[in-house]
Homo-oligomer: A and B are copies of this chain.
Amino acid sequence: MIDNLFASRGSSREIEEGTTFAPKFDEAGLIACVVTDIGTGEVLMVAHMNAQAIQRTVATGEAWFYSRSRGALWKKGETSGHVLRLKEMRVDCDQDVLWIKVELVGPGACHTGRRSCFYRAVVHSAPDAPMMLEFRDAEHSFDPAAVYGASKE
């Protein structure tokens, strides 16, 4: 039944210029999904979807993903309440990456307690020095211990 939702992969031209949705899942059945905030445009997180996660996301209007580490389907916000309301789902030219624009319900998308998972910039002071990270937009928007307890969404 879920297989009927997607088309099989056709020619490059069909994939790039057609209106048939033929996502390219990797050998684990997953496709990467970039999540941006529809208001600010910032990248909130990147996660993976399988066929079922795509189906549930589109059907329910809230983002579902597949956790590689836990080997399980999960709804973003199932523990925290910080769900991601789907505003638009896009796919790229070769249909191997998804981009969803969402409205973040609640203070943050990152399990560390920040709004976005991308709270550090890569900086490089000298060619022979190690690259380092610098915190940016890294203030906590919620207390992860209070929200998640021992679980990690």
Residues of A within 8 A of B (CB): 1, 4-7, 16-21, 32, 34, 36, 40-43, 45-46, 54, 58-59, 88-93, 97-99, 110-112, 114, 117-122, 124, 127-128, 130-136
Contact = CB atoms under 8 A, between A and B. Distances in A.
B93 A18 contact: no
Given A17-B112, A122-B21, A122-B90, A42 B41 contact: yes
Contact of A122 (B36, B45, B89): B89
A119 B93 contact: yes
Report copies per complex. 2
Given A46-B32, A91-B122, A5 B131 contact: yes
A145 to B, nearest CB: 13
23 contacts: A4-B128, A4-B130, A19-B120, A19-B133, A19-B134, A19-B135, A21-B132, A34-B43, A34-B46, A43-B43, A46-B99, A58-B122, A58-B124, A58-B131, A88-B121, A89-B122, A90-B120, A90-B121, A90-B122, A91-B121, A91-B133, A93-B117, A93-B119
B121 A89 contact: yes
Contacts of A135: 19
- Among A40, A110, A119, the most chain B Cβ lie within 10 Å of the Cβ of A119
